[in-house]
Amino acid sequence: MKKKTEIIPAIDIIEGKCVRLAQGDYNKKTIYNENPLEVAIMFETAGVRRLHLVDLDGAKAKHIVNYKVLETIAKKTSLVIDFSGGLKSYNDLEIAFNSGAAMITGGSIAVKEKDTFLQWLEKYGNEKIILGADAKDGKIAVNGWLEVTELPIIDFISEFHKEGVKKIISTDISRDGMLSGPAFDLYSEIMKMFPEIEIIASGGIASMKDILKLNEMKLPCAITGKAIYENRITLKEIERYITDC
């Protein structure tokens, strides 16, 4: 049986609470649960193996903030956690890994301080360091998506692919939190150009139909958040999908 696209639920944190933003806009915030651990346990109970945990306060502050949430979830579940948001220094990374992150995602740092990101890649390896390739209208966005650069996403990925990056998370910001469907064409283009990179699709997933289409495309992983919180994708559906794997 071929490996299916792995569903990775997202938990975004502001002030220690589980929230979702629309298109990365901090003014369009919905609080879904005051206790992220409860949410993580629900995912684990449904058979989920991995979790995408985003420190939105950290992304804004430009240093890690919500590491205690990471620590609590890591200690009280067996989820494999990819952590991102505000990771700008070795100290931030040490805090993240010591708090239980299995992997970290660096996006803004790769744009702003390429040498620092490459040092992380060399020190921790390409299984632990994921490249964040988030874009709006095909251009890379940084700093919690508050700033859109002129750097085309394909050029950006190519640059780091040459340096040994093995995993990327790519979010089409215009779709994130909008339940409008993933950027299928973008992921198809990335897969065609970089077949050996593990692409983690993110943004826009609205239903299991989207997951199934990504699965048909043979995307390795897909992050989804709002669709779960809005009950467009139920935990029962996720459980059935995982069981069928």
Tell me the catalytic residues: 12, 134
Max Cα distance, the chain (Å): 45
Burial degree of 236 (CB within 10 A; 0-12, 13-18, 19+): exposed
- Segments of 39-99 assigned E as strands: 50-55, 80-84
Instruction: Please report, as a single letter, which amino acid is at residue 74.
Output: A
Q: At what angle do helices 184-193 and 208-216 cross, to 10 degrees?
A: 20
